[in-house]
Structure 1
Amino acid sequence: MSDSNSTDFTNPTTFILLGIPSLETAHVWMSIPFCTMYTIAIFGNFTILFIIKTEPSLHGPMYYFLCMLAITDLVLSTSIVPKMLSIFWFYSREINFSACLTQMYFILSFFFTQSGILVAMAFDRYVAICDPLRHSTTLTNPMVAKIGLAVVLRGIMLILPHLFLARRWPYCRTNIIPNTYCEHIAVVKLACADISLSSYYSLSVAFLVIGQDVFFIALSYTQLCVILAFYIPHLFAALTQRFGHNVPLHLRVLMANMYLLVPPMLNPIIYGVRIQQIRDRLLQLFVLPLLCLFP
Structure 2
Amino acid sequence: MESGEGQQDEADFQEPVSFQLIQISSFYNRSLEENLGSGWLGELQTHRWVSNSGTIIFLWPWSKGNFSNEEWMDLEDLLHMFSIGFLQIFHNSVSQRQLEYPFKVQLAGGCELHFGEASVGFIRVAYQGSDFLSFQNRAWLPSPNGGSRAQHVCTLLNSATVAREILHKIFFETCPRFLTGLLDAGKAYLQRQVRPEAWLSTGPSPGPGRLMLVCHVSGFHPKPIWVMWMQGEQEYPGTQRSDVLPNADGTWYLQVFLDVEAIEAAGLSCRVRHSSLGDEDIILYWGHTVNFQALLSLWNEIPAAQGSRRI
TM-score, normalised to structure 2, is 0.28
Structure with greater strand share of residues: 2
Greater relative contact order (Cα 8 A, min sep 6): structure 1 or 2? 1
Computing the radius of gyration from Cα coordinates, the structure with the larger value is 2
Structure with greater helix share of residues: 1
